Amino acid sequence: MTPTDAAPPASGAPPAGASSTPPRPLGRQATVTVTLVAIAAALVLFWPRGDAVPEAPGGTLTDAAGRPQMLGPRMARVTLVHFWATWCPPCITEVPTLDRLAEEYSRYPDFRVLMVAVGDDVEAVETFRGSRAGGILYDPDWDVAHRYGTRALPETYLVVRGKVVEKWEGMVDWDDPAVRRRIEEALSAAGAEVAAGPGRGWTRRG
C-alpha cells in the first residue's frame, strides 16, 4: 500500500502527534476562584461610587387649568416635594403645620414647599386651600408620585440640589424641632441664603 492509500484513523482517534490525554477539568478551588474574580469585576463596574444619593425624579404635572408643568423648573435649591390629596384624612390634618413651615422658612429664597395633589379634583383642592391653591400642582394619574416611589399618601421628599436626601412617610408634624433641624441642616449644606432683615440685604448660611 502506498502512503496515499493509507486508511484514515478510526473514528474518535486523535490525529497523529496529538496527545491522547483529554484536558483536565478545573478543580473545585480553581472554579471558585474564577467565580469570585468575575463577581469582583462586576462589582467594580456597577457598584455606586462613594455614598450615592438618588437623583430626584422629574416628570410633568399640571396646573389648575390642566396645562402641563415640568417639575424641574419649580424646584428650589432645597425643596420639600409633598404628595397629598383632599381625600386623604391624614393629609388634611398635616396641612396646617406644613403651612406654618412654609411661612416661617419663606425667609430662605432658596427653599420651597412644593405641594402636589395626587389623584385629586381641582375644585376640591381650591375649595380646601382657598387663596393658597395657586401654587399647587396636580398629578392626576400618580405618574410623578410613582416615579418617586410613592404608593400611599401623604409622603414628602427633601430634595437638595436635585438629590433626594430624606423621605418622610405618612403624616409629619412640621413643627417638630427635630424635623426642622433636619431641614436647616440641608439648607446649611446647600449654602442657602437667609434674609437678614428688612433693608439689611442677605447673608449666606453655612
Q: Which tens digits make up the pLDDT trace of 4-34? A: 344 444 444 444 544 444 555 555 555 544 4
Q: Are 83 and 152 in contact (CB under 8 A)?
A: no
Task: From the options 3.40.30.10, 3.40.50.300, 3.30.1330.10, 3.40.50.620, give the CATH code of 60-204.
Answer: 3.40.30.10
Domains of the chain, by residue range, sit at 60-204
Asked if pLDDT for residue 132 goes beyond 70, the answer is: yes
Asked if pLDDT for residue 143 goes beyond 50, the answer is: yes
Measured CA to CA, the distance from residue 204 to residue 206 in angstroms comes to: 7
Sole residue written with cell 399618601: 153
Q: Which amino acid is at 74?
A: R
With a pLDDT cut of 70, the percent of the chain lying above it is: 68
Q: Are 98 and 180 in contact (CB under 8 A)?
A: no
The side-by-side arrangement of strands in the sheet containing 60-62 is 68-70, 60-62, 137-139, 111-118, 78-84, 155-160, 163-169
Per-residue pLDDT band for 96 (boundaries 50, 70, 90) equals: very high
pTM of the model: 0.70
Measured CA to CA, the distance from residue 140 to residue 137 in angstroms comes to: 10
Within 13 Å, how many C-alpha atoms sit on residue 129's CB side?
26
Q: What is the pLDDT of residue 28?
A: 57
Q: Which helix (H) or strand (E) holds 94?
A: helix 89-104
What is the CB neighbour count within 10 angstroms for residue 160?
22
Measured CA to CA, the distance from residue 81 to residue 155 in angstroms comes to: 8
Arithmetic mean of pLDDT, 88-96: 98
Q: What is the pLDDT of residue 196?
A: 56
The cell numbers describing 67, all together, are: 396645562
**Coil, strand, or helix at residue 68?**
strand
